[in-house]
Structure 1
Amino acid sequence: MSRYSVSFQLYSSRLFPPVPPQLNYLKSVGYDSVELWPQTYESDPAGFRRALDDSGLTCSGMHMPLAGLVSEPRRWFDLAHMVGTDTLIPPYVPQAERRPTADFWRSVGERLRTGAELARPEGLKVAWHNHDFEYVRLEDSSRPIDHLLDAAGANVDFEIDIGWVVRGWADPATELRRYADRITMIQLKDTATAGTELDEGWTPTGDGIIDWPSLYPLFDATRAKLLVVEHDNPTDWKVLAKRSIDYIRLLVG
C-alpha cells in the first residue's frame, strides 16, 4: 500500500471482546498492525503477544499513561518489549490535571523529553498523541500543542490525530505542514458535522467531513510511514474497520 502501512487502534473495538477474533478479522481485511491501549495488554502481555503473533499482525505502538513514563518507566518499557513494539505513545492529560498556562504545557513536554531520554537506551521511542484541547488557545493566544512539542524536543515524535485537530478548530493542512518533521504516525480519524449524535459524531474514514484527498499529498512531506484508523465509539467496529481500510486503499493507491 504505497509507502504506508495501516494500523487499527484497538480502543475502537474495546466494547466488543474478546480480542483474538478481532485480530484475525483485522488481518483478513488487510491491516498490517494494531495500536494498543493499556487495557488491551496490561493484564496479560504475554497472552496478548501470542494472540498477536498467531494472527500475523504486529504491534505498531502502544498508548500508555503519561505519568507512567517518568514514575515507573521500567514497567512500561518491559511491557513494550513483551508486546513487541518500539513506540510508546502517551495520549492524554486528564481534564482535572490541565492548567491553561504555557508553563503547564511546557511541563508536559519536559516530562515527555525525560521519558524519551530514558527510553532511548532501551531501543524505544516516545510520541505524543493529540486531542482537541491542545488547540484551545490560552489567554496569550498561544497554543498548548506548540508549547508541549517545543519543550519535548526533537527526540519526541508526534502521532497527529486529524479528527481531533478538526474538532479543536485547527486546520489539519496547516498542522501537517507545521510539524512535518515531527509527525511519524497519522491517525485518519474522521468526524461528522458538528451536532451529530450518532456514534458521538465520529465516522469511518472517508464517511465524514474531512477532505482526505486534499490532505493526502501533504503526508509525503512528513516522516510518517504509518496510517492509523481509530473511532472512539462505533456502533459496529467491523464496519468501521472495513470501510476505513477500503477507503484508505483508494486514497493512497
Structure 2
Amino acid sequence: MTIAPGLQLYSLREFPPLDLRLQELADLGYRKVEPYGALMTDPDGLAASIRRVGLASPTAHVGLDRLRCGMDDVLRIAETLDLEVIVVPFLQPDDRPGDTPGWMRIGAEIAGYAVKAKSAGRQLAWHNHDFEMLQLPDGSRPMEHLLAASDDVLWECDVAWVARGGEDPTDWIRRYPERIVAAHVKDIDPNGGNGEDGWADVGHGMLDWGLIVPALKAAGTRHWIAEHDKPSDGLRFAARSIETMRSW
C-alpha cells in the first residue's frame, strides 16, 4: 500500500499564517490536510487555499454541535471542501454518558447522521480520544457502542489516544479493520514533561509502529494523518513526521 501523507491542521493552529503553512506542507511532500472546526468559518476561502498549493482535504473534523444544528449546512461544507469523510472529533466532558444506555443513544444519533451523509455520497466517522476506551460500569467500552450502532459509522482511529486510554492500538485495529477509514498517526513521548503535553513527532516516541503500521495497512486504511496536539515547532513536527511516514 502506498501512503499519501496527510496532516491535521489543528497541529499548526499556533503557527499562522495558514496559507504559508499549507505551502510548506506541500513543499515537504504532504498530499492531504485535515481541516478542523475553527477553520470552517469560510469554507470557500479554505478550499481555495488548500487547492492553490495542490493539496486535497478528503477528511475534516466537524463538531457534533454543528451536526446537531443541521446536516444541510454540514453537507454544504463537505461539498465545498470535496470531503469523502466527515469526522466527529470530540465529545465535551458534560456530554459524555457514564453508562452503556447513554453511549447507545449517542451511537444511535451518530448513526442517523451517517445515513444522511451516505445519502449525499459522503461517509461519517468518529475520531476517538482516550475516554472512549475506558470501561463503563458493565465492563464495555464507549467505542464498542458507537461502532455497534450501525455499519455506516466508520472510525478515524487515533492510535496514540487508544494507547493513552490504556489499550493496545494494534488489538483494536485488528478488531475493527473494516470500519477504519482513516488513522491519526500520533506518537507519545515517554517523557511526559517535554513541554508538548507528552506528545512526540511521529516515529520519535514510544509507540510500536512496526506493529501498528502493518495492522493499519491490512485494514485498508485510506487516510493516514499525522497529528501533534501541541508541538513547540510546527515545521519540525511536519518534517520529521513525513520522513517517518515515507519509511513505511
Same fold (TM over 0.5): yes
Separation of aligned partners in 2, 1:124 and 1:169: 32
1:163 corresponds, among 148, 160, 164, to 160
Q: Which amino acid aligns with 2:90?
A: Y
Q: Structure 2 length normalisation: TM-score?
A: 0.96
1:107 is displaced (CA, Å) by: 1.3
The answer (yes or no) to whether the contact 1:61–1:88 under 8 Å persists in 2 is yes
Give SS of 1:231's match.
coil
Q: Is 2:177 the counterpart of 1:180? A: yes
Tell me the CA shift for residue 83 of structure 1: 1.6
Q: 1:58 aligns to what SS in structure 2?
A: coil
Amino acid in structure 2 at the alignment position of 1:8: L
- Please give the secondary structure, in 1, of the residue aligned with 2:7: strand
Given the alignment of the two structures, is residue 223 of structure 1 paired with residue 220 of structure 2, yes or no? yes
What count of residue pairs does the alignment treat as equivalent?
248
User: Could you say which residue in structure 2 is the equivalent of 1:48?
Assistant: 46
Give the CA RMSD over aligned residues: 1.2
Deviation, structure 1 residue 194: 6.2
Counterpart for residue 242 of structure 2: 245
Give 5+ residue unaligned stretches, structure 1. Answer: none
Question: Counterpart in 2 of 1:235?
Answer: 232
For residues 173-192 of structure 1, give each alpha carbon's deviation from its aligned partner in whole angstroms, at most 9, with x where no partner exists: 10110111101111111011
- Please name the residue that 1:67 is paired with: 65
Secondary structure in 2 matching 1:126: strand
Q: What corresponds to 1:113 in structure 2?
A: 111
- Give the whole-Å Cα distance in 2 for the aligned partners of 1:207 and 1:48: 31
Correspondence for 1:9: 8
Partner Cα separation in structure 1 for residue 241 and residue 120 of structure 2 = 34
State the 4+ residue runs in structure 1 displaced beyond 4 angstroms: none
**Alignment partners' CA distance in 1, 2:181 and 2:144:** 17
Unaligned stretches of 5+ in structure 2? none
The answer on whether the counterparts of 2:183 and 2:225 sit within 8 Å (CA) in structure 1 is yes
Distance in 2 separating the partners of 1:105 and 1:6:
33
Instruction: Report how far residue 44 of structure 1 moved.
Output: 1.2
CA deviation digits over 1:49-90, x for unaligned, max 9? 111111100002110111322431111110111122121100
TM-score of the superposition, structure 1-length normalised?
0.95
Percent identity over the alignment is 33
Cα distance in structure 2, aligned partners of 1:201 and 1:195: 4
Q: Is the 8 A contact 1:69 1:112 kept in 2?
A: no
- Indicate yes or no: 2:34 matched with 1:35: yes
For residue 214 of structure 1, what is the amino acid of its counterpart?
A: L
Q: Which moved more, 1:202-211 or 1:137-146?
A: 137-146
